[in-house]
């Protein structure tokens, strides 16, 4: 049986997580973390002005002053270290590495400089070098919580070693029981290992320490969603957006949840905000297309889904969702072509097989029906399903009936009835079972 808005699934949640990255893990990155130089030299004057501007957030003006300070006196490690932090804030990690390396030459074996260079290596895409610097900083200063947090963040997000990440976050929390970053990141590590209750406990701890932490609300909402508690997820997303109205990850996650709950207009409203900021964001446009399809505004849905496939012509989910929209619009040949494209690109996902099978079995237009291929596709959907699905067996029954094998159609429909737990679902299935017992196929009514 087709469904224009598929129900929540493990596969679907991958789309949600993909927008936010690996559970929105956060390194600990302090501000300049430096003090004014007490002497009255010209270089110190320029450095102190640069530092003050950095701390106020005027990064460009701060860079001018720090450049001047280093030009006047190039043998002070503090100057290079502070300019390295500034360059990190400006998104120039490779230049920051150069400054931290010079600071290290002038002041070797300084834990703070090594930790900062680890930050820069991480941002520059050199995780092994970052790991070496974080580990060296920890060896020099083993009682500094932020160093463990930063190494744990690297293990979690880049090196994909969550057990080592948890060990580092544990140590950070032991050293500093009010370290919000360590609790948040440990929660993210637990979440990425599907240890949802442990993740919730850590997010609760963050919010106890900092009740206005939007990221903790957003991440906790994601866990509630993974546990199937959509009302709690929505409440957390609402709170995250109340605290940070421009928090686009939270807005996207709320939109995704609205669509799951079939509150399609709410989903569209949130996705409009996301797409205004990021017009080419693939997943947000995909979700808005799905939401328009839920509203049966198929022209708008197809506009979004066509744009998705312009952005990524090899995106299986784009073809699958566009197939659903074409089917809803009554464009059956285009729907069949899109399902086939989705299957070609992602042959391990069952949804496209199921919806292709349903269309081939029950299409209102007889010229598109093909019982033999419907059976083949429906069987593949059942084979690939994570667990037995009443929807897939319903489709398999319709396919057998279209192929003229009514005994198997009856058997499959009875299996669908056994799997369907709710009365609304069973009420859909009984009339088709009666048809198959009467040796009649089921066809969808013509589109109005």
The model's pTM is 0.83
Task: Please give the average pLDDT of every successive group of 10 residues along the chain, which has 448 residues.
Answer: 38 39 55 74 95 94 97 96 95 97 97 96 97 98 96 94 95 96 95 94 97 96 94 97 95 96 97 96 96 98 98 97 97 98 96 97 97 98 95 98 98 97 93 98 90
End-to-end alpha carbon distance in the chain: 19
Contact 103, 72 (CB under 8 A): no
Distance CA 98, CA 121 (A): 10
The alpha carbons of the chain give a radius of gyration, in whole angstroms, of 28
Which residue has tokens 């391990």? 348
The answer to whether 119 and 26 have CB atoms below 8 angstroms apart is no
Cα separation, 216 vs 263, in Å, equals: 25
Residue pair 286/317 in contact (Cβ under 8 Å)? The answer is yes
Question: Of the candidates 293, 220, 312, which has an alpha carbon nearest to the alpha carbon of residue 20?
Answer: 220
Residues 6 or more apart whose CB falls under 8 angstroms from that of 281 comprise: 19, 274, 275
Nearest in space to 258 (alpha carbons), one of 219, 284, 276, 297: 284
pLDDT in tens, 321-341: 999 999 999 999 999 999 999
**Distance from C-alpha of 168 to C-alpha of 156, rounded to nearest angstrom:** 10
Which of 360, 355, 403 has its CA nearest to residue 381? 355
Q: What is the pLDDT of residues 55-91, one digit of tens each?
A: 999 999 999 999 999 999 999 999 999 999 999 999 9
Which CATH number is associated with domain 350-448?
Answer: 1.25.40.10
Q: Which pairs from 56-62 meet CB under 8 Å and 24+ separation?
A: 59/86, 59/89, 59/90, 62/86
């Amino acid at each position: 049986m087709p469904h224009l808005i598929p129900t929540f699934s493990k596969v679907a949640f991958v789309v949600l997580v993909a927008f936010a990255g690996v559970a929105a893990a956060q390194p600990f990155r302090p501000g300049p973390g430096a003090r004014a130089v007490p002497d009255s030299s010209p270089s110190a004057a320029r450095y102190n002005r640069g530092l003050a501007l950095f701390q106020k957030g005027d990064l460009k003006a701060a860079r001018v002053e720090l450049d001047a300070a280093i030009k006047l006196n190039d043998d002070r490690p503090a100057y290079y270290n502070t300019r390295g932090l500034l360059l990190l804030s400006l998104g120039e990690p490779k230049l920051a590495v150069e400054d931290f390396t010079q600071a290290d030459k002038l002041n070797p074996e300084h834990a703070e400089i090594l930790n900062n260079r680890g930050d820069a290596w991480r941002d520059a895409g050199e995780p092994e070098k970052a790991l070496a610097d974080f580990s060296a900083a920890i060896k020099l200063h083993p009682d500094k919580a932020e160093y463990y947090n930063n190494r744990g963040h690297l293990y979690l997000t880049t090196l994909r070693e969550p057990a080592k990440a948890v060990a580092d976050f544990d140590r950070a929390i032991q050293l500093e029981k009010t370290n919000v970053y360590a609790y948040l990141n440990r929660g993210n590590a637990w979440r990425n290992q599907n240890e949802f209750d442990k993740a919730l406990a850590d997010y609760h701890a963050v919010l106890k320490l900092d009740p206005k932490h939007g990221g903790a609300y957003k991440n906790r909402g994601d866990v509630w969603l993974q546990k199937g508690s959509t009302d709690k997820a929505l409440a957390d997303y609402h709170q995250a957006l109340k605290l940070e109205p421009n928090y686009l990850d939270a807005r996207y996650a709320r939109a995704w949840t609205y669509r799951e709950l079939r509150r399609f207009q709410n989903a569209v409203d949130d996705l409009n905000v996301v797409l205004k900021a990021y017009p080419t964001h693939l997943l947000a446009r995909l979700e808005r297309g799905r939401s328009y399809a839920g509203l049966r505004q198929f022209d708008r849905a197809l506009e979004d889904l066509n744009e998705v496939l312009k952005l990524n012509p090899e995106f299986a989910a784009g073809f699958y969702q566009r197939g659903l929209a074409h089917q809803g619009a009554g464009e059956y040949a285009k729907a069949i072509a899109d399902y086939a494209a989705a299957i070609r690109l992602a042959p391990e996902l069952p949804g496209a097989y199921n919806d292709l099978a349903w269309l081939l079995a029950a299409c209102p237009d007889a010229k598109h029906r093909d019982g033999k291929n419907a059976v083949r596709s429906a069987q593949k959907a059942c084979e690939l399903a994570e667990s037995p699905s009443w929807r897939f067996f319903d489709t398999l029954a319709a396919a057998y009936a279209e192929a003229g094998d009514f005994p198997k159609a009856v058997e499959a429909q009875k299996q669908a009835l056994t799997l369907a737990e709710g009365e609304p679902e069973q009420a859909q299935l009984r009339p088709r079972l009666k048809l198959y017992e009467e040796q009649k196929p089921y066809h969808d009514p013509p589109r109005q």
